[in-house]
Amino acid sequence: MEILISEEAIRARVVELGRAIEDEYRDRQLTIVAVLTGSLVFLADLMRQIRIPHRVGLYLASSYAGAVTEPGPELRIDRRFQPDVAGRDVLLLDDILDTGRTLGTLATGLREQGAASVRVAVLLRKLGRQVVPIEPDYVGFEIPDAFVVGYGLDFDDDYRHLPYIAVLDGRGQ
Ligand code: 5GP
Ligand code: MG
C-alpha cells in the first residue's frame, strides 16, 4: 500500500483544524455530530484539539456493504446516539466527502431538527466524485479519486487502525 498522508502530516493538520474551530465557536453552543465508523479516529484526535466546551453525538452510517470500493444504492443511518441539537451550533464531522450523499442527507436532517447552525468538517475531500452539492467548511486534505484506508477508514472493516492514510491497490492489499 502506498502512503498518501503520513501520520505526522495528519497530526499537524488536525491541530490547525482544532484551532480554527475553536476560534469560530468560542462562546457558542457547539455540538460535534460525527459519522461512525470511519470518523472515529478523527473525532477522538480533533475533539482534544478543540479546547472549548463542546458536546459530542454520533451517527452510524454505512453505504459500503462488505468487500467493495464503490457505495451501494442504499444509505443506512442509525440516529440512536444523536443528542438533541435544537438551538445548538452543530459541526457535522466525517472522515471523507465522496459523493456527498451521506453529509447532504445528514445536514438536511439536522436543520430540520432545529439546529441553530450546521457546518461540515471532513478530514478528506475526494476530488471529482461529488454528486450532492455540499460545501464543507473545514477540509483536512484534498485527495485524488482513489480508495483510501487507514486513520479510521476501512476496506471490509479492516485497516482502520493504521495511523496514516494509504491507497488500497486493486486486490485489497
Ligand atoms: P459519500 O456519501 O460522500 O459518497 O460517502 C461518504 C462515506 O463513504 C464516507 O463516510 C466513507 O465511509 C465512505 N468512503 C468514501 N470514499 C471512501 C474511501 O476512499 N475509502 C473508504 N474507506 N471509505 C470511503
Ligand atoms: Mg463513513
Domains defined for the chain, CATH in brackets: 2-167 (3.40.50.2020)
Q: Is 154 in the pocket of ligand 1 (CB under 6 A)?
A: yes
State residue 172's pLDDT score: 52
Residue 98 is a catalytic residue: yes
Q: Is 39 in the pocket of ligand 1 (CB under 6 A)?
A: no
Candidate list 95, 98, 158, 169, residue with the active-site label: 98
State residue 3's pLDDT score: 97
DSSP for 98-141, written as a single string: SSSHHHHHHHHHHHHTT-SEEEEEEEEEETT---S----SEEEE
Question: In the chain, which stretches have pLDDT less than 50?
Answer: 173
Residue 25 contacts residue 91 (beta carbons within 8 Å): yes
State residue 89's pLDDT score: 98
